[in-house]
């Protein structure tokens, strides 16, 4: 699998790929009235092992260049302009998930200097120094076969190797019947690193450039938990974020993969409970919203030039055309 990923990455960054898909003319044709919602996670010179291993970090110097690429080719909108129909040129929305420490220390400063708005989708659990759910369950999967067997007792092929996506709070309770919870959670926190604080949220909320959205209180997979727990977790995060001046009722799915982490039923639940827009991380989603659902375009450290950005956007647009 690692070899296949390296091969795909090499193809997507090859000169031939960039020649065919890196056309500005093609970009203008494909994205004239389109909104692209970009997704970032961590922006750090020294990311935690979790963010580094999962390709979720961007060096701040590169992040600044990526924002410049986006500014050059898009009109970056504020989240409150999400449903505006007045954009004839390509428009973009900058989003962040989780609230990792590098976003507050590095990314916000860069965005302020460039007067670039963005929305941060936050889980308050780790902001309040509680457990960061994906960091914990990935750590347990990496270090304890016992935990993987609890999540996947029958060794089902469709989740083998991805047990962390299907982990449920009851699996954690079962696991810690056999192991030292305090010792393991301390090690897990070292693995996934630090996050912003409530004061960081308050300070950023004073700026009109930035706003906050809902990412559940805990970073649970919405399809791995009950409807009741999903609603309670959604509302708990929403209610506890009401102290922020710039909170807006938008929601981004943790993990965000179609049919693994969300479906039409979870969309209906979230919208019924007050969300005005939903954001996924579906890598094959189109650039048009459907029933208030927006599919985001993830950025990583392979986006080192404007040409690569344009080429990968054009490529995804072509894939979308064949899927429609």
Mean of pLDDT values over 125-134: 97
Q: Are residues 188 and 45 in the same domain?
A: no
**Residue-wise pLDDT tens digits, 215-267:** 999 999 999 999 999 999 999 999 999 899 899 999 999 999 999 999 999 99
Rg over alpha carbons for the chain, rounded to the nearest Å, is 19
Q: Are residues 238 and 297 in the same domain?
A: yes
Residue 1 inside a domain? The answer is no
User: Which one of 159, 192, 225 terminates a domain?
Assistant: 192
Q: Are residues 258 and 138 in the same domain?
A: no
Mean pLDDT of the chain: 92
Q: Are residues 163 and 299 in the same domain?
A: no
Q: Are residues 294 and 154 in the same domain?
A: no
Buried b (16+ CB within 10 A) or exposed e, 178-200: eeeeeebbeebbebbbbbbeeeb
Residue 294 inside a domain? The answer is yes
Buried b (16+ CB within 10 A) or exposed e, 292-317: bbbbbbbbbeebeebbbbbbbbbbbb
- Between CA 48 and CA 202 the distance in angstroms is 24
Number of domains the chain is built from: 2
- Between CA 118 and CA 120 the distance in angstroms is 7
Confidence of residue 2 (pLDDT cuts 50, 70, 90): low
Q: At what angle do helices 306-323 and 60-73 cross, to 10 degrees?
A: 60
User: Which one of 192, 209, 226 terminates a domain?
Assistant: 192
Mean of pLDDT values over 52-60: 97
**Residue-wise pLDDT tens digits, 78-121:** 999 998 876 678 999 999 999 999 999 999 999 999 999 999 99
Residue 10 inside a domain? The answer is no
Q: Are residues 138 and 223 in the same domain?
A: no
For residue 52, how many other CB atoms are within 10 A of its CB?
Answer: 14
Query: Contact 172/219 with Cβ under 8 angstroms?
Result: no
User: Which one of 192, 208, 241 terminates a domain?
Assistant: 192
Mean of pLDDT values over 164-192: 97
User: What is the domain extent for residue 158?
Assistant: 133-192
């Amino acid at each position: 699998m690692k070899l296949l990923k390296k091969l795909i990455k090499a193809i997507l960054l090859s000169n031939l790929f960039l020649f065919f898909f890196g056309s500005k003319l093609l970009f203008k044709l494909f994205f004239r009235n389109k909104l692209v919602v970009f997704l970032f996670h961590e922006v750090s010179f020294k990311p935690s092992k979790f963010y580094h291993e999962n390709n979720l970090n961007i060096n701040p110097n590169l992040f600044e260049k990526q924002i410049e690429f986006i500014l050059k080719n898009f009109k970056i909108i504020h989240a409150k302009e999400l449903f505006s129909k007045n954009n004839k040129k390509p428009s973009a929305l900058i989003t962040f998930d989780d609230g990792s420490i590098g976003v507050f220390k590095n990314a916000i400063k860069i965005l302020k200097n460039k007067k670039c708005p963005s929305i941060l989708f936050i889980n308050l659990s780790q902001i309040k120094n509680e457990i960061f759910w994906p960091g914990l369950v990935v750590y347990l999967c990496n270090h304890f076969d016992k935990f993987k067997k609890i999540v996947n007792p029958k060794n089902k092929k469709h989740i083998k190797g991805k047990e962390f996506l299907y982990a449920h709070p009851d699996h954690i309770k079962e696991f810690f019947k056999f192991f030292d919870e305090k010792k393991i959670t301390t090690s897990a926190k070292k693995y996934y690193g630090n996050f912003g604080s409530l004061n960081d949220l308050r300070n950023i909320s004073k700026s009109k450039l930035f706003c906050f959205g809902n990412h559940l209180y805990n970073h649970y997979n919405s399809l791995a938990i009950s409807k009741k727990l999903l609603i309670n977790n959604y509302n708990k995060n929403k209610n506890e974020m009401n102290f922020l001046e710039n909170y807006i009722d938008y929601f981004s799915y943790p993990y965000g993969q179609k049919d693994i982490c969300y479906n039409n039923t979870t969309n209906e639940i979230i919208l019924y409970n007050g969300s005005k827009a939903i954001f996924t991380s579906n890598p094959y989603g189109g650039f048009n919203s459907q029933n208030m659902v927006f599919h985001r375009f993830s950025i990583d450290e392979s986006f080192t030039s404007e040409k690569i950005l344009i080429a990968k956007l054009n490529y995804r647009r072509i894939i979308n055309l064949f899927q429609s």
